[in-house]
Each structure stands twice: as structure tokens, then as C-alpha cells.
Amino acid sequence: MTERKTKYTTISIPRELYRRVEGIIEGTGFRSSTEYIVYLVRQAVIAIEADRQLIHSLPYMIPGADEEGP
Amino acid sequence: MIDRKRRRILVIGADGADPGLLQHLIEAGQLPNLARLRARGVCAPLLTAFPPVSPVAWTSFLTGVGPARHGVRDFVTKAPGAYRPTLGMFTVTAGDRGLPAYHSRRQVPALGQITTAAGRQSFTLRVPGDFPPHPVDGRVLAGLGMPDLVGSFGTSALYTAEPDAERFDRVKARPQIKPLRLTADGWLQGDLDGPAGTSSLLTCRIEGDRLHVAASADDPTILATLVPGQWSDWLSATFFLAGNAQVEGIYRLKLVRLAGRSVDLYRTPIQCAPHAPLYPLTAPPELAHRLADALGPFATLGLPADQAGLQQGLISLETFLESADGAWEEQAAIVRHLLVNEEWDLFIAHYFPIDSAQHMFWRAMDPAHPAHDPGEAARFGDQIARAYRWVDRQVGELLALAGDGVTAIVVSDHGGAAIRRWFYLNAWLEAEGYLQATPGKKGRLRMDWARTRACGFGTGGIFLNVRGRDPQGLVPPGDAYQALRDELAARLLGLADPETGQPVVKAVLRPEEVYPGVNPGHVPDLSLALAPGYALGRGESLGQVRAGPVLETNRTWWSGGHEGPYLPEDIPGVLLMAGPGIPSGAHLDAPRIVDVAPTILHLLGLDVPAHMEGRPLIRSSSSSQL
């Protein structure tokens, strides 16, 4: 299996959305719509992961212990 | 140069200070400084914001408007147009080098901005929800909201060579039990988690009855030597980000247990180093450097007491108290340092100990609490009163340092009360057929949004799944939406606790009342206020549903609070004012938390902006500028 096949997978997005990405790629420095979409998804994932990490560490959200720790 | 003839105002924010407990402790002679202040000024219960949680209420204090206008509306809410919880205090986007970037939700100017624009010098220290600091707000030290280095509200760890030992069975946060690995040359090493997936190493060695912490296996310089029960000073760790950028974090260790080769080592959350914080800590940024130069490293996490570690069974109550006490004393030193060494007209310092103690130790103080135990009461029954006494001492010291000509204001964002029973709103919605869930992983329930009409998110919020607004919305807007809201409100108001026969829900509020003018879908379609003694069960704020009863007796250490949520009049804060401009014994007419900012501006001789919802509480001629 080539490295590309082990490191990448294929997803489908609506063709209309793909065309919109193609329409805004000019001048961004990205070499392809795929590269730009990967960048956008990565940015969204970083933000959502960071949001989740904050939410789940709020003491108000954590189920309470009825015994103290060691 | 500051004109010393100008009035100066010192505001002490006593998070969670409850008018009833304050009165009781003053009468018992335990709060001499607050008693003196009250005797020469005014004191009254203070109507708080809804929901009555710290970032919402303190932002109302800072801005003079309610949450609909200021934009900080809850700890957690539902992401508009998605079925996931999102932080309500501030927003997060992707920043540089794989790091998060944080943005304020506050939509209106705060006291710091207004006074600075008027040429006055202000400090706003550690106020919850005041993150990231606004550069236009004068001088600010971030409060609750400021994350640790990994980007959480505080992720501590317990290092051990025996992670599978029985004594850790009760620990809920298994990833926070970090294995210590034995190296070939006899060092014990464990991982220190850094930002954006980076890590560093904690290196230590057992020698007899003590543990040495070294810089690294290659550099055996001893940074700390600990015996059981002992805390280290602040230690630092370096993490390497993308592009070879380095970032420093600071943490403290406590040697919890050492028996032969068996070691348990507690580590506080790794926090931003104050001399080079990764995330915005102060405004202007140089303030953090100045503090670090003058005082050395200090806890920068917005909520430095490890309540989460205690909740997860990671630490004992003694370790929790030690971590909290250390953090409070550090903060007190920062406040004193700035108060004495900097020029100011308005100085706001916020303190957390009372709220923290009321959350964790209510059951030890209150014989009527279902989890009360006389043995625990002997150990921890005084902790809440102790927190009030600690704040009272700060009041005395700060007033002595500030001098007689200062107007003093002590203010709290809400009070405190026992949490006797948990109400699982989403379990109720499921039992009544409004919410559908299917079995998911690890015995949990998985939401079935295509068949769900209503779900709880945030502090008592109910979001309907509205067609055209939500991805799989099925409630038609218009009459059907209104009818479902009416039906839910009526049924929730009729819900009685089978154990007591008493109503669980005291009020069901509409967004038109709580959040006028805010776009639908951005705020709950209904907001619950619970009867005193009840609070929403854990996980309910996150839009999750659990398999289990709708009501449950609270047997946990999180035994008191304010976040039921309750109606503002059921959990008031307190307002105490004395000094120049405050007529002794004057009557305060039903003061609200939105009235405090206009009162401060009025006392400073500044105009109250027209957009503020509050009004000055003192309007006598003596309140004009000196």
C-alpha cells in the first residue's frame, strides 16, 4: 500500500460546496481545493476540540465524587 | 500623577458571600472587619443575574447590564445550529501553531474601559468571566476562564509506579493517573502534558524516605526534595511547539505517599508561566511581567483550587484545601502588592474562597444535609466559616493599606445554599417522551436527534429541536412551537418530588423575559428555575442523557451551590458599602447587581452611560466628587 493510501482517506462533499471552495481559493496560496478543505477542517477541529476540553474540565460539569481521593 | 483629592474606590469581590451566613457570622463575632464596615455604611442583599452563576453575574457587575445585553450568558450553552454544547463564557477558534485562540463574548464596555476612557486608573483582578483581558479595560488580571497550559480549566495528575493499584479504583479520571516508568539508570519518569499535543518529562528518584525531583535524566540537578505530605515550590517545564517555539509551564508537586519503592505524587494543573504566558493573562501584557519580577511565579489558572481533582477522586480533601489555601494566599499577595505599589482610582479584586468552600463543604456544616456525617463535620464543619474569616482578614488588610479616604465596596455575585437532591432534566424529558435516546458505548445513552423534540443544555436551559433552525429539527415553528413550550412549562411546574411531595421546578422562564432581543436558537427556548434544595444533575448541561432516575439524593462532596439554577431572589448576593460618599445607615432600595457599576461611576463623579440598565444606588449630595 502506498504511503498516500495509508495516510489519507476519501470523503464526499456536496459538489455545490466543492465549487464554492474552488471559487474562493484564488490568491490563498493553497494548491488545490482538497488542500484548502483539509486546512479548513483542521481549523474547525482544533476549535471544537479546544471547546470540548474546556467544557469537560469545568468543575460544574464533572460528576461528583462521594469519596475523597488518595 | 494621580490627583489625591479625587475619590478612590476599593471593591472586594467575595464570590458566593451569602447575606444570611454573613449576618450569622457577623453576629457571632467572627467577621470584625466586615462588621465595622457595615456599622459605618450600608448593607443589603443584592439581586443577582439569571442564571445565577459567576461569569454571568460578575459580567453584569462589571457592565451594569444583564446577560441579554452583555453576552456572557452561561458557563455552557448549545452551539447554534448544532447538537453540541459550547462554552458560554468566551469563544474558541483555531490560532497559530495548532493552538486555540480565545475571544471574549462581552459585548458592552466594562467599568475598566469606562473609567480608563475618563482618565482614571483602574485595576480589575481575577473577576470570573473576565477572559481574555480586554486591552482597553485599564489593568486586568484574568479571572475564571484563564485556562491551564493544555487549554483546560485545570487538569491535574497523580503520578505513580502502580497505576493499577486498588487505591485508585475510585478515581474517575483514569487518564489523569500517570504511570511513572523506571529507567535503566534508576530514574522514575512520567509524562507532563503540554499544549497542542506536546509533552515533557517529570524526572524523579527515591532516596530513603524522600523523593528528589531532577531537571532531567541528563541533568541531575535537584529541583525539589520532598518527604510525604510536603509540597514543592513552583517548578517549570518547557514544551516545544511547531516551528521550534518554546513555551514554559509551571506546576507544583505534593508527595502524597512514599512507602518503599511505592510513590504517589500529585501534580497541580500545569499553568501558564506569568513572565511569558502562552494565553492572554493580563492587560497590558507587561503587567504579568511586572508581577512575576516582583513576586516570582504564581498560579495563573482562573480557578486555581483543584475542585475538579477532588470531584474526580484524584485528591483528598486535605490536598484540596492545601492547594486552595496556597493559591488564595498567592493571590492575596498580588492584590496587596498592586494596591500599595501602583496608582489607582478604582481597584477591583475578586476572591473565590467562600464560593469554593460552600460548594465542597456545605454537607459538613449543615446537619440537615443528606450526606452530613458527624465525623466529617468535626474535620471540615468549620471550612465555610473559615473562608468568610479569610475574606474578612483581606478586607481588614486592604482597607488598612488603602487608607481612610477610600470608599469600600464588598460585593458578591450570589449566595450559597444546600444541594440536597439532583434533578436530571434530560432523564425526565426522555421518560416523558420529549427526548429519544438509544443505547450507546459503555452503557451510555446516545441522543436520537431525529426523534427528539426538546433537550436540556446549560444551566437550566431547554432547547426545542426546531424545524428550519436545527439540523434535524422536527418541531414546526409558530403555533406548534408555542404549544410545546406551554405544555413543557405546565408539566415541569407540576412535577413533584415523590420523596417529599414538594415541587421541583419553581419557575419556567421564556427567552422574551430572560434574554429580550437575542436571536432565537442562541438562547434557550425555556429556562428552568428550580426550588431551593434542588440542582441540575451533572452532565445535564452538556446535552447528555443518562440511564437512571430523574431525581437522586446528593451524596457527593459538591454539596452546596447557587447554580440550581434558582430565581435571582432565591439566591441573592450581598452589597456592603462604606466610606466617603456613602451615608451611614442609608436605605438601599432593592439593589440589583446591575446597579453596582452605575453606583461606582456616580461615586467617581463620572456619567453613567445611557445603555446601562442599573441606576446609582446612592444619590445624596455627599456622593458628588470630593
SS (H, E, C) B526-558: EEEEECCCEEECCCHHHCCCCCCCCEEECCCCC
In a domain, A49, yes or no: yes
Q: Which of B147, B151, B315 is nearest residue A69 as measured by Cβ atoms?
A: B315
Higher pLDDT, B248 or B6: B248
pTM: 0.96
Provide the residue range defining the domain that includes A30: 10-60
Q: Mutate which of B90, B92, B97, B162 to disrupt the A interface (most A C-beta within 10 Å)?
A: B92
pLDDT at A64 over 80: no
Candidate from B58-67, B75-84, B133-142, B612-621 with smallest mean pLDDT: B612-621
**Mapping DSSP to helix (H, G, I), strand (E, B) and coil, where does residue B217 land?**
coil
Question: The cell 464560593 sits on which residue?
Answer: B355
Q: Give percent above pLDDT 70 in chain B.
A: 98
In a domain, A67, yes or no: no
Single-letter code of the amino acid located at A61: M
Report the gap between the CA of B103 and the closest CA in chain A (Å): 12
What is the 8-class DSSP label of residue B517? T
In a domain, A4, yes or no: no
Question: In b/e form, how buried is each residue of B316-354, taking b as 16+ CB within 10 angstroms?
Answer: bbebbbbbbebbbebbbebbbebbeeeebbbbbbbbbbb
pLDDT at A3 over 80: no
Candidate from B172-176, B478-482, B523-527 with smallest mean pLDDT: B172-176
Mean pLDDT of B334-340: 98
Q: Which of A55, A59, A67 is nearest residue B76 as measured by Cβ atoms?
A: A55
- Give tens-digit pLDDT for B530-550: 999 999 998 889 999 988 899
Q: Which of B100, B314, B563 is nearest residue A69 as measured by Cβ atoms?
A: B314
Which residue on chain A is closest to B542 by alpha carbon?
Answer: A61
Mean pLDDT of B35-41: 96
Is A62 close to B314, i.e. CB distance below 8 A?
no
Mean pLDDT of B382-395: 98
In a domain, A1, yes or no: no
Confidence (pLDDT) at A68 = 73
For residues B15 and B27, the answer to whether their CB atoms sit within 8 Å is no
In a domain, A66, yes or no: no
Contacts of B313 in chain A (CB under 8 A): 65, 67-69
Closest CA to A24 of A13, A41, A42, A37: A37
For residues B555 and B373, the answer to whether their CB atoms sit within 8 Å is no
Instruction: Answer whether A40 touches B (CB < 8 Å).
Output: no
Q: Which of A44, A58, A66 is nearest residue B75 as measured by Cβ atoms?
A: A58
pLDDT at B623 over 50: no
**Summary mean pLDDT of chain B:** 95
In a domain, A20, yes or no: yes
Is B151 close to A53, i.e. CB distance below 8 A?
yes
Contacts of A39 in chain B (CB under 8 A): none
Confidence (pLDDT) at B620 = 56
Confidence (pLDDT) at B175 = 85
Q: Which three cell numbers stand for residue B517?
A: 432581543
- Give tens-digit pLDDT for B256-288: 999 988 999 999 999 999 999 999 999 999 999
Q: Structural domain tally of chain A?
A: 1
- Give tens-digit pLDDT for B138-175: 999 999 999 999 999 999 999 999 888 888 887 888 88
Phi then psi for B533, rounded to 5 degrees?
100, -20
Residue B622: pLDDT band (50, 70, 90) is very low
In a domain, A5, yes or no: no
The number of C-beta contacts closer than 8 angstroms across A and B is 120
Contacts of A55 in chain B (CB under 8 A): 76, 85-87, 542
Instruction: Answer whether A51 touches B (CB < 8 Å).
Output: yes
Is B538 close to A70, i.e. CB distance below 8 A?
no
Strand partners, B188: B182, B204
pLDDT at B571 over 80: yes
Confidence (pLDDT) at A66 = 67
Is A67 close to B170, i.e. CB distance below 8 A?
yes
In a domain, A30, yes or no: yes
Confidence (pLDDT) at A65 = 67
Q: Which of B94, B153, B542 is nearest residue A46 as measured by Cβ atoms?
A: B94
Confidence (pLDDT) at B619 = 77
* ipTM, 2 dp: 0.93
- Residue B520: asked if its preceding bond is cis (omega within 30°), the reply is no
Sorted by where each starts, the structural domains of chain B and their CATH numbers stand as 8-69+107-146+281-415+570-623 (3.40.720.10), 157-272 (no CATH), 421-553 (3.30.1360)
Do the strands B551-553 and B421-423 form a parallel or antiparallel pair, or are they unpaired?
antiparallel
For residues B277 and B147, the answer to whether their CB atoms sit within 8 Å is no
Report the gap between the CA of A9 and the closest CA in chain B (Å): 22
Closest CA to B158 of B180, B179, B177, B182: B177
Report the gap between the CA of B168 and the closest CA in chain A (Å): 7
Mean pLDDT of B46-71: 98
Residue B621: pLDDT band (50, 70, 90) is very low
